[in-house]
Homo-oligomer: A and B are copies of this chain.
Amino acid sequence: MDVRDYIESHAAEFFGALREWLAIPSISADPARLDDVRRSAEWLKEHLTGTGFDVAEIWPTDAAGSPGPAAVFAEWRASDPDAPVALVYGHHDVQPVEPLAEWDSPPFEPAERGGLLFGRGASDDKGQVLFHALGVRANLAVSGATRPPVTIKVLIEGEEESGSPHFADLLRANAGRLACDVVVVTDTGMWAADVPSMCVGMRGVVDAEIDLRGPERDLHSGSFGGGVPNPLHVLADLLSGLHDRDGHVTVPGFYDGVLPISADEREQIARLPFDEKAWLAEAGHSGAAAGEIGYSTLERIWTRPTAEVNGMWGGHTGPGGKTIVPAEAHAKLSFRLVANQQPDAVVAGLRQYVTDHTPPGIQATVTSHGSGVRPCFSAPDSPPVLAGRRAMERSFGQQVLFTREGGSGPEADLADILGAPLVFIGVGLDADRIHAPNERVDMALLLKGAEAAAYLWDELAAARPSAAGQGR
């Protein structure tokens, strides 16, 4: 019996279990559904216990005062105490379902149509979390062992769709029990069903607000216009000067921490069948792509940091005209960051830029809320990523390419707080309609994910990451 045979013979059982789990409406954003999130955690705990994990526990996230949806922790130790430790990350909470009328079948009554399983959470993230349980059973069935070749820890949070407000605290409070050599993130997707791929990085983000003040009050532009600095003109100059003609960000030191993209990764990104026109149409953007010179669109949105003005206001914004030199001008910005930029350093650079370019007579302040989200990145040629890629290639029988994601989730916290590299194993698709009505998952791809997960433990054991043993 090989892995594929095992998985095929257990597919019906797997989907039966998944349908049960999908029927629990674990919407973390809805306070009225907290009990359902708890039921979902209980279901998973029971399922992992049945799978054979040594430990399966529910971890409440309400220690800090306000109660949060519960996470599930489980652990299955390897026989070899020196075996690498992998931590699987995913989430069991789901997005709200509105607008309900647009669903072709009820979101919490899973329905199979044409090889797709429809239901809220089918792809994001219950279906993908669950393939790990099938994968580890397949691994053991083939090896004949009673324990996996690496120690597998599992942390499935219950509030990812609500912005993971308690997640970093949970990681810090349980860093000892979560210690690992590699984090296997299973909450991302592939380029396409016939283009298997792995994510290797996510951009971070930090926000900032620029507030400019000129005169104490709005001035009559007939009396003062042309004779005093106008805060809106100064703001326009500041924001316009944030990029040079080539689209590079001019904030001092902005690129200091940036790890350049490797020639190999560029080459792999270039091989992705990217339809730029379709991508623009999806954005409702009739024009051309635009951005930093010297980079393709995918490189720009995945591998390059940005300075983006998200909002701007000042002076008279109501109906009709008002001939004033306004007292104030404001802008909200956010910077997308790539490894190894530091959010704090970027805000400090912006503060320097604003100080350097604000003329006399205008008071400028730069503030930032929170500490931002650090970017995460795993080098495509690092041993854990190569191990993951081999597992995916064995499952899909073809070369696996690399992608990144432009936005950020709680993944950077995992890397930062646990100090372990990330490997992204996921089989979701853009076509899965996550966060939208009629969410679905390609059932064949879920089984491919289980197969990759089955191989992954052998590959990680064989790779024996150089960091093995650290931090446990």
Chain A residues close to B by CB (< 8 Å): 203, 205, 207, 214-217, 219-230, 232-233, 235-243, 280, 283-292, 297, 300-301, 304-306, 308-317, 320-327, 329-332, 334, 336, 359-363, 369, 405-408
Given known A-B contacts A312-B317, A334-B221, A359-B290, A301 and B236 have beta carbons under 8 A apart = no
Q: By the criterion CB–CB under 8 Å, are A301 and B406 in contact?
A: no
Q: By the criterion CB–CB under 8 Å, are B311 and A312 in contact?
A: no
Chain B residues near A408 (CB-CB < 8 A) = 222
Chain B residues near A308 (CB-CB < 8 A) = 221, 225-226, 230, 323, 325
Q: By the criterion CB–CB under 8 Å, are A216 and B284 in contact?
A: yes
Chain B residues near A315 (CB-CB < 8 A) = 309-312, 332
Known: A221-B306, A223-B407. 17 other contacts (CB 8 A): A203-B222, A205-B221, A205-B323, A215-B285, A221-B336, A225-B306, A226-B292, A226-B406, A229-B287, A232-B331, A233-B243, A285-B361, A286-B361, A287-B360, A287-B362, A311-B314, A312-B314
* From A225, A232, A321, A361, residue with most partner B Cβ within 10 Å: A225
Q: By the criterion CB–CB under 8 Å, are A310 and B323 in contact?
A: yes
Q: By the criterion CB–CB under 8 Å, are A236 and B300 in contact?
A: no
Q: Give the shortest distance, in Å, between A320 (CB) and chain B (any CB).
A: 7
Q: How many copies does the complex hold?
A: 2
For A316, give its contact among B216, B325, B332 (CB under 8 Å): B332
* From A207, A287, A308, A330, residue with most partner B Cβ within 10 Å: A308
Chain B residues near A289 (CB-CB < 8 A) = 227-228
Chain B residues near A329 (CB-CB < 8 A) = 312
Q: Give the shortest distance, in Å, between A99 (CB) and chain B (any CB).
A: 16
* From A207, A224, A235, A329, residue with most partner B Cβ within 10 Å: A224
Q: Would you mind naming 15 contact pairs between A and B with Cβ atoms under 8 Å apart?
A: A214-B287, A215-B285, A222-B405, A225-B301, A225-B334, A226-B305, A226-B308, A226-B406, A228-B290, A230-B308, A232-B311, A233-B243, A236-B236, A290-B359, A312-B315
Chain B residues near A236 (CB-CB < 8 A) = 235-240, 242, 309, 312
Instruction: Tell me, in angstroms, the Cα distance from A350 to B227 when the chains sit together.
Output: 21
Q: Give the shortest distance, in Å, between A326 (CB) and chain B (any CB).
A: 7
Chain B residues near A313 (CB-CB < 8 A) = 312-314, 317
Q: Give the shortest distance, in Å, between A125 (CB) and chain B (any CB).
A: 18
Q: By the criterion CB–CB under 8 Å, are B215 and A284 in contact?
A: yes
Instruction: Tell me, in angstroms, the Cα distance from A397 to B159 when the chains sit together.
Output: 85
Top 6 nearest A-B pairs (CB, nearest first) are A287-B361, A222-B407, A216-B284, A311-B315, A240-B240, A236-B239
Given known A-B contacts A215-B284, A315-B309, A304 and B226 have beta carbons under 8 A apart = yes
**Closest B residue, CB atoms, query A320:** B369
Chain B residues near A207 (CB-CB < 8 A) = 321, 323
Q: Give the shortest distance, in Å, between A143 (CB) and chain B (any CB).
A: 40
